[in-house]
Amino acid sequence: MSDLSSLTAGRLVAGYSNGDFSPIEATRAALEQAEKVQPHVNAFVRIDGDDALAQARESAERWSRGEPQGPLDGVPVTVKDILLLRGKPTLRGSWSSSTDGPWEEDAPSVARMRDAGAVFIGKTTTPEFGWKGVTDSPRHGITRNPYDTSRTAGGSSGGGSAAVALGAGPLTLGTDAGGSVRIPAAFCGIFALKPTYGRVPIYPASAFGTLAHVGPMTRDAADTALLMDVISQPDARDWSQLAPPHGSFREAVKKGVRGMRVAYSPDFGGRVEVDPAVAAGVRRSVERLEELGAHVEETDPGFEDPIEAFHSLWFAGAARVTQYFTDEQREKMDPALREIAEDGASRSALDYLAAVDVRMALGKRMGVFHEKYDVLVTPTTPGTAFGAGLEVPEGSSYRRWTEWTPFTYPFNMTQQPAASLPCGLDGDGLPMGVQIVAARHRDDLVLRASHALYEAGAADVPAPALAGSA
């Protein structure tokens, strides 16, 4: 990986300020990486080189005058092709989406990045409507893992995770309604945060309702804090947004973990079978937190698997997003998406409200749990990346992606902030992820604990060999 394409957003901005290099050079480096790795991993649905370089030249001019537009001025970024990007089609991985314009709006988070001077280099792949925990779609094909292209990058924000891991921009925006930034972050060795619901405004509203969060995917927790300071600002189009945060996330991450109360649940009370290498990696992360001054207790939140309630909510969303499809459009859908949409359409309003009851009870349990513990630490996923193009690991008895993601989707139901960061490589050289969860509105605690692990060197993993390939 070239030097500039390997730098974090924070280091790029510092370099621009010092005159070490320009946004034009950094953008060219990111574009070169994007073009180089695209044939191998299929991270992008579009790469906009000319537009990106035009934006970079404008940024360079601002920096030359000492008048940067904002904290991301000149930083190359990408956007998941679920989120609106002004002037570009948003296809959502589906043949049902038209390329016809005019595409006049940015999503709120995209608009805030544009206001801050970010340079948009492209849109990244997603499964159809972001419906599953891996990234492949009938329209755009399979997205592959940067560490082993025979494996999945995870999903549904798999394109963004592969792009960041491979140096095609240090920042990307993803969406997460059941693990969709955390799963690919774990599989691709990067950092991702699912913020508290409402912390980052969303528009248009997701068909999956208040399960769906917008979140950053970056190379480390400091870059996510930087991006959160930008995208957490209000947008009148989202009636469910929270008030602006008090203080800066960039300042909050510096406070460390001394005295922090950490609950460590290695397997949800024995309910989840975790790969031994992943379990060992998560334990090492917890031990490092303890060495840094946190108070660690091995315990469990004690809830039963809410998978059936999640399915009622999730499948209803799938039914809603495809409700008005023609027979021809349904024929072109991902067959498994068509299957869950039909399931969702067959469920009643009472089924949905029963699932809401489960969700509320789970939220109460976690709220009480966090009166005693600042953060909960678990694996992000029980295992590492499996075969590309599959919804579930080969050889498993699973039917749906939710069966191998028991650590992620419960915290979409509760709307809590949750992050994934690397905790080493397994015996096959594949990244493993550790998840850190906090109470609603305490995104700062998640970022503090994550940043402490990065600062201690506990979250470092080697870059994928593909990043430096010819």
Is 156 considered catalytic here? yes
Assign 3-class secondary structure to the chain: CCCHHHCCHHHHHHHHHHCCCCHHHHHHHHHHHHHHHHHHHCCEEEECHHHHHHHHHHHHHHHHCCCCCCCCCCCEEEEECCCCECCECCCCCCCCCCCCCCCCCCCHHHHHHHHCCCEEEEEECCCHHHCCCCCEECCCEECEECCEEEEECCCCCHHHHHHHHCCCCCEEEEEECCCCCHHHHHHHCCEEEECCCCCCCCCCCCCCHHHCEEEEEECCHHHHHHHHHHHCCCCCCCCCCCCCCCCCHHHHHHHCCCCCEEEECCCCCCCCCCCHHHHHHHHHHHHHHHHCCCEEEECCCCCCCCHHHHHHHHHHHHHHHCCCCCHHHHHCCCHHHHHHHHHHHHCCHHHHHHHHHHHHHHHHHHHHHHHHCCEEEEECCCCCCCECCCCCCCCCCCCCHHHHCCCCCHHHHCCCCEEEEEEEECCCCCEEEEEEEECCCCHHHHHHHHHHHHHCCCCCCCCCHHHHCC
Instruction: Give the active site residue among 22, 36, 80, 232.
Output: 80
- Prior bond of 462 cis (ω within 30°): no
Average of per-residue pLDDT across 274-290: 98
Is 180 considered catalytic here? yes
Spell out a b/e string for 168-189, using b for 16 or more CB atoms within 10 Å of the CB, else e: bbbbbbbbbbbbbbbbbbbbbb
pLDDT single digits (tens) 113-145: 999 999 999 999 999 999 999 999 999 999 999
pLDDT grade for 10, boundaries at 50, 70 and 90: very high
Token pair, residue 84, equals 């609106």
pLDDT single digits (tens) 67-81: 999 999 999 999 999
pLDDT grade for 469, boundaries at 50, 70 and 90: low
pLDDT at 470 over 50: no
Under 8 Å CB-to-CB from 52, ≥6 apart: which residues? 27, 30, 31, 76, 119, 120, 121, 122
pLDDT grade for 403, boundaries at 50, 70 and 90: very high
**Alpha carbons 146 and 164: distance in angstroms, whole number:** 10
Q: What is the pTM of this model?
A: 0.98
Token pair, residue 286, equals 């917890």
Q: Residue 317 belongs to a domain with what CATH number? A: 3.90.1300.10
CB count within 10 Å of CB 332 equals 15
pLDDT single digits (tens) 295-309: 999 999 999 999 999
Under 8 Å CB-to-CB from 287, ≥6 apart: which residues? 296
Specify the number of domains making up the chain.
1
Give the pLDDT score at 383. Answer: 98
Structural domain that includes position 283: 4-468
Count how many residues are written for the chain: 470
Give the pLDDT score at 148. Answer: 98
Give the pLDDT score at 2. Answer: 59
Instruction: Give the active site residue among 5, 22, 156, 232.
Output: 156
pLDDT at 21 over 80: yes
pLDDT at 321 over 60: yes
Token pair, residue 381, equals 């996923």
Give the pLDDT score at 110. Answer: 98
Q: Which one, of 278, 268, 349, 273, lies nearest residue 306 by Cα?
A: 268
pLDDT at 294 over 90: yes
Instruction: Give the active site residue among 109, 137, 161, 180.
Output: 180
CB count within 10 Å of CB 195 equals 29
pLDDT grade for 101, boundaries at 50, 70 and 90: confident
Average pLDDT in the chain: 97
pLDDT at 181 over 60: yes
Average of per-residue pLDDT across 438-451: 98
Is 285 considered catalytic here? no
pLDDT single digits (tens) 345-386: 999 999 999 999 999 999 999 999 999 999 999 999 999 999
Token pair, residue 394, equals 């080969």
pLDDT at 1 over 70: no
**Alpha carbons 310 and 134: distance in angstroms, whole number:** 18
